[in-house]
Chains A and B, each alone.
Chain A
Amino acid sequence: MSHEASYKSLRRSMILMLILVSLAPLVMVSAVLGNRFHTSYKEKALAHLDEVLLKHKQTIDSFLDAKVAEIRVLVDVTPFKAFFDPQTLESLLLSLQDRHHGVFVDLGVVNAEGEQAAYAGPFLLGSADYSQAHWFQAAMRRQVYISDVFLGVRGLPHFIVAVRKKYEGRDWIVRSTIDFAAFNRLVENVRIGDTGLAFIVNKDGEFQTKPRMDISSELPKLMALIKSRGKPGAGRWLSRAKDASGVWSCLFESPSTGQEYVVLMTELKGGEWTLVYQQTERDAFQDLYRSRIAAIVIVLLGAAAIVAAALYVSQRFVNHLRRLDREKEVLNEQMLETGRLASVGELAAGVAHEINNPVAIMMEEAGWVEDLLEDENPWENEEEIRRALSQIRTQGGRCREITHKLLSFARKIDPTVVLLDLNQAVEEISELSEQRARYAGVQIITDLASDLPEVRASASELQQVLLNLINNAIDAMDGRDGRLTLTTRKVGEDVQLEVADTGRGIPAANLQRIFDPFFTTKPVGKGTGLGLSICYGVIKKMGGDITVSSKVDAGTVFRIRVPGAEDTHVPAGKDAQSRTSA
C-alpha cells in the first residue's frame, strides 16, 4: 500500500534526523574534548617522565661526582707517601668502604708507566700493568677520569675512578674501583609502571648498567636514535624533541616485539654516557587509554540510547499519524455517506411523487370498480371492470419499476472497484432523475459515444457523482425551462463526461471554492455543501480530474476525465445513440 510506504519513508527520515541531530553534538564534543585531553595528558605524562629522568640524572651525576671528589680529597689531604704504605692504604680503603657502604671496592696507585705501585683490596693484584688500559691512557691525559664499565683483568663488570697527582716530579694515578652493583641499583630504581626500564649506554653502545630485561636486539636502533640527538627525521620525536632540560623523547617501535615504546634519553658524564628510559606507550599512557575506553563506552551507550529513543519516538509518531489518518478515513467515509443520504433525500422527493401517482391511479380504479359493483347488475359493466383491473396491474408494474431503481441505488456504499460502462451509469441516473427534471421544467438530453472504453470505479460512488452533478444542474435551472446535456466522449486514452446545464451559472468568486467541503450557496438546511467535494474526492481517487467552467446566466459545464481501463474492447454493433427525454 502506498500509505504504508509513505509511513515508512517518513519514519526513516525522522529516525535519521533525530539520530543526526543528537549524535552530531555528542560525537563532536567527545572528539574535541577527547583530543584536547589526549594531547594535554600525553604532555603531562611525558613531563612527569622527564622529571623522573632528570632526577635520576642528577642522582647519578652527583654519585659519580661524589666518588671522584672523595678520591680527590683523599689525594689532596693525604701525604702522597702514605699511599705507598700498604697498611695506610688498607685503612684508607676500609674507611672509605665504611663511610660509603662498600661502594669503593679497592684502592691503588699507578705510576706514569702504568705499573701498579701499591694496592689495597680483595683482588691481590700485586703489580698489575695498566699501561695499555684505555682508562689509564685517558687518565694520564686528564686530571680526573671516570672509565666506562668493563670486565677488566678480573672478569667482573666494574668501572674505575682515576685521579692524577704530581709527586716528586712524577705523575701518579690514584685509582679506585667502584662497585658495579651499587651503581646499577641507582639506575634500576628508575622504574615506573610495569614496563618502565632505565639503563645507561656509552658511546659505543655498551651497557653501563645491567638492564632488567634483555634488550640487546633493540640496541642498534636505539643507538641510532641516540646518535641522531633529536635530529628531525631520524625518529618520531615527540613535540618536545629536546627540551630545555636536555631530555629527548620519541616514539620507538621495538624491532623484536613490534611494541610501541616511549623513549626518553639524556646525557650523562658530559655526553660520554646516555641515560635511556623506555616504557611501552600503552603502559606510559595507561590512564589515558583507560579514560578513552570509558569515554568510548559512554559515547556508544549514549548513541545506543539515542537510536533507541529515535526508534521509539518515530514509531509513536507514526502510529499516532496512522491513527489520525484512519480517523480521517472514517470521517471521510461518513462524509461520503452523509452526502449520499442528502442526495438520496433529494432524489426521494422526486421518486415519492412518482410513486404517488400510480398509487393514486390504482386507488381511483379500485374505487371505480367498487362503484360499479354496487350496481344492480354489475356484469353489465364487465368490460369496464376488466379495463380498470388491467390499469391497476399496469400502475402496479410502474411502482415496481420505480422501487427497483431506487433500491439499486440506495444500497450501502460499496467501494469495490470494478469495470463499469459509464454510458450505462449515465442512463440509469438520468432515468432516475427524469421525474424531478420534468417537474422542474428541465429537459435531459444524453449524447453517449459508442466507442467508450470501460472505466475502473466503484459503482455506487460513480452513481453518486452523477446524481450530485445532475441534481445540482436541475437546481441551477429551477423554473427556467432549461436543458441538461450529458455527453460522453473518448479523448485519447481517457473517458470524458460533460454535464452541461443552461442554468444561472456560478459567479467567478465562488468558482474557486466550489469543490471545498461545506461550501454551499444554498440556504441553511437545504444543502450540505458536500456534494461537489465528494465528487472531487471520488474522481481523484479514480485517477481522473474534474473541472468546471461557468458563465453567469448562461450555464455551467462540469467536465470529468477519467482514465479508461486498458484491456477493454467495445462490443461491436453498438451504434452511437442519442436519446432525448422530457
Chain B
Amino acid sequence: MNEHAMKLLVVDDERHFLETLVKRLGRRGFSVRGADSGERALEEMSASPADVVVLDVKMPGISGLETLQRIKADYPLTEVVMLTAHADMEAAAEGMEFGAFDYLMKPMDIDELVYKIEDAWRRRSLRGLKIQQMRSRARTSPDET
C-alpha cells in the first residue's frame, strides 16, 4: 500500500484555512488538492476522483452533508473524513449515517488528521483490493466450471 499514491481532496469554505491546510498536507507528502465549496468539490471529483476527502460540514451553498451524500453516491469507494464545529454533534452523527469514515472537530491537530486520513486510505485500499479479488475470482470461476 503506497500512501503517497493516494489522491486527497480538502473542502472548506474558509479560504485561508484551506490554503494553509493544503500546504501542510502537501509538505507531509500527500498529493492534495483544495476546493472552497461543495460545488467546486464535485467538479474536482468528476475531473479526477479522490481516494479520501476531508470535508467541512457547514458551508454556504451546497452544504457539507449534501456534498457527502453526492460523493458517496457517485464514488462509493471514496472515504470521507468530516470536519465539524465544536458543538455540532448532530451534523457529525448524520454524516456517519451517510457513510463518512470518521469525523474530527475543528480546530484539529494536524497529526490527528494525518492519522485519520491514513486510516481512511487503508480502508479504501483494502476495500479496493477486495473488490479486485472478487472481480478476478468472478473472472476465473467460469474457467473452473
**In the complex, A537 Cα to B88 Cα: how many Å?**
33
Nearest CB of chain B from residue A430's CB, rounded to whole Å = 17
Interface residues of B (CB under 8 A from A): 14, 16-17, 20-21, 23-24, 27, 58-61, 85-88, 106-108, 110
Contact with B along A71-92 (1 / 0, CB 8 A): 0000000000000000000000
With beta carbons under 8 angstroms apart, the residue of A357, A368, A395, A439 that contacts B60 is A439
Query: Could you show 23 A-B contacts with beta carbons less than 8 Å apart?
Result: A352-B85, A352-B86, A353-B58, A353-B88, A356-B85, A356-B86, A356-B106, A357-B17, A360-B17, A360-B108, A361-B14, A361-B20, A362-B107, A364-B16, A364-B17, A364-B110, A367-B20, A367-B24, A367-B110, A368-B23, A391-B20, A438-B60, A439-B58
**In the complex, A364 Cα to B24 Cα: how many Å?**
8
8 closest cross-chain pairs (CB), A and B? A360-B107, A364-B20, A363-B107, A361-B17, A353-B85, A360-B106, A361-B16, A356-B85
Contacts of B107 in A (CB 8 A): 356, 359-360, 362-364
**In the complex, A352 Cα to B86 Cα: how many Å?**
8
**In the complex, A364 Cα to B26 Cα: how many Å?**
13
Contacts of B85 in A (CB 8 A): 352-353, 356
Nearest CB of chain A from residue B139's CB, rounded to whole Å = 46
Cβ of A204 under 8 Å from chain B: no
Contacts of B58 in A (CB 8 A): 353, 439
Question: How many inter-chain residue pairs (CB < 8 Å) link A and B?
Answer: 53
Nearest CB of chain B from residue A411's CB, rounded to whole Å = 23
A371 pairs with B27, CB closer than 8 A: yes
Contact with B along A47-60 (1 / 0, CB 8 A): 00000000000000
**In the complex, A438 Cα to B16 Cα: how many Å?**
18
**In the complex, A368 Cα to B60 Cα: how many Å?**
26
- Known interface pairs A356-B106, A371-B27, A441-B60. Does A395 touch B20 (Cβ–Cβ under 8 Å)? no
Nearest CB of chain A from residue B62's CB, rounded to whole Å = 10
The size bracket of the interface on A is 20 to 34
Q: Which of A119-158 contact B (CB under 8 A)?
A: none
**In the complex, A371 Cα to B86 Cα: how many Å?**
25
Q: Which of A317-367 contact B (CB under 8 A)?
A: 349, 352-353, 356-357, 359-365, 367
Contacts of A371 in B (CB 8 A): 24, 27
Nearest CB of chain A from residue B108's CB, rounded to whole Å = 8
With beta carbons under 8 angstroms apart, the residue of A357, A388, A439 that contacts B14 is A357
Contacts of B106 in A (CB 8 A): 356-357, 360
Nearest CB of chain B from residue A442's CB, rounded to whole Å = 10
**In the complex, A367 Cα to B16 Cα: how many Å?**
13
Seed contacts A353-B85, A361-B20; 10 additional CB < 8 Å A-B pairs: A352-B87, A353-B58, A360-B14, A360-B108, A361-B14, A361-B16, A368-B20, A371-B27, A439-B58, A441-B61
**In the complex, A388 Cα to B61 Cα: how many Å?**
28
Contacts of A349 in B (CB 8 A): 87
Minimal Cβ-Cβ distance residue in A for B20: A364
* Most B CB within 10 A of own CB, among A352, A357, A367, A371: A357
Contacts of B24 in A (CB 8 A): 364, 367-368, 371
**In the complex, A557 Cα to B55 Cα: how many Å?**
37
